[in-house]
Amino acid sequence: MKKRLLFSMAFTALLGSCQENRKHPKIDSPTGWEIMEVPSGASIRGLSPLTSEIIWASGSKGTWLLTLDGGKSWSTGIIDGLDSVDFRDIEGLSASTAVAVSAGQPAVIYKTTDSGKTWQKKYQGPDEAFLDGISFYKNRKGYAIGDPVDGKWMVLETIDGGESWTWLESSPSAESGEGSFAASGSTILTDSEFIWFSSGGSKSKIYRSNDGGHRWEIKETPIIQGEPSQGIFSLSKLDNNNLIAVGGDYLKPDLSQKNVIYSPELGNSWEILVGNLPNGFRSGVAYFPRHHWVIAVGTNGSDYSKDGGINWEKFSDEGFHAVSIDKSQGSIWASGAGGKIARLTY
C-alpha cells in the first residue's frame, strides 16, 4: 500500500509540474484512431515512428513500409525477397536507415540505408533461434532479444548502428517453458546503460541489466502467467524512474485479470496497482507525455490511462498489435492485422 501511495503521489507531482509548463491546450481523452490507406494486407507488428511524418513499419510476408508524409503515401516492398518471413520488429534510425528483425526461421536481422530499396543481412542465428524484438539507444547502440537456446537467452548487441551483432556471453539463463513474445517487438527496452526484457509462458519475469548487459538481475512479477499464452507482452517507460508493462492471455482477449504491472524503481520490483484494469489482453503500451496518457492496445480494442496506468478506460474498439510514440514525442501510432496502421486522434 505504501508503494502504491508513493507511486500515485510521484506521478501526480510529475503531472502537475508538466501541466504548469504545458505548451498545448488540455485535452481530456483521445477520440480514436485515424486509419491510414496502406498498400499492404500484411500483419504489421513492427512499428517505428521517427516523427509525425516519418514512420517505418514491418510485418508478415517479408513486408517493409515507409512514409515520409505522415501516412499520405507509402513506399513498400519485400526484404531481400523473403516473402515467407515475418519481420515482427523494425527500428527506424533515419528516413533512409532502418534495422528489421524476423521472428521464426530464418532468424535474421537486416539493414537498409537507402530507404528500403535494398536490404543487407547483418546477422543470422542458429536453426533453433527465434528472435522477438530490438531496441536502440541513440542509433549506435542496440540490443535484440531472442528466445532461449539450450537454456540461455539470446541477447544480441550492436555498437555500430546494426552493422554487426554479437550474442553476449553474459546472456542470462532461462527456466523451462520461458520465452519472450514477438507480438509487438516491445518486450525489450533500453536506455544509456539499462536493458530490460520480459519473459512469458511458464514464468513471466523481468530481466534487468544496469551495465549494458554484462550482469543481470532477474525480477519476479505478479502479472498473469503459467500458461504458454500468458505473461508480459510490452514494456514502456513513464519517466526516468517509472516503468509499465502490459500483457494478459492472448487466447482470452477479453480477460481483464492481472494484465498490467508497474515499477516505481526502474524495474527493481513490480506490482499491480488497484484500479480499473485495461479491458482485456494488451500487446502494446506507450506513454504520451504531451497529454500524460498511457495508451495500451490489443486485439479487442484500445485503452488509455491519465493517472499513470492506475485506472484505464476503453476509447476504441479498433484492434491492434503494436503502439509506439514517435521519437520527437509528438504523435502516437499503432499497427495491426490486414495492413492496418493508424494515428491517435484527440
Determine the structural domain holding residue 318 and report its residue range: 2-345
Question: Nearest-CA neighbor of 309 among 248, 246, 254?
Answer: 246
Residues 6 or more apart from 7 whose CB is under 8 A from it? Answer: 242, 262, 264, 273, 308
CB distance 307 to 11 below 8 Å: yes
Q: What is the pLDDT of residue 224?
A: 98
Over 90: is that where the pLDDT of 21 sits?
Answer: no
- The whole-number average pLDDT for the span 149-176 is 97
Q: How confident is the model at residue 23 (pLDDT cuts 50, 70, 90)?
A: low
CATH number at residue 248: 2.130.10.10
pTM above 0.85, yes or no: yes
Give the single-character DSSP code of 329: S
Give 269-297 pLDDT, tens digit per residue: 999 988 999 999 999 999 999 999 999 99
CA 303 centroid distance within chain: 16
Structural domains in the chain (count): 1
Other beta carbons within 10 angstroms of residue 287's beta carbon come to: 21
Where is average pLDDT lowest: 3-12, 204-213, 252-261, 262-271?
3-12
Share of the chain above pLDDT 90, in %: 90
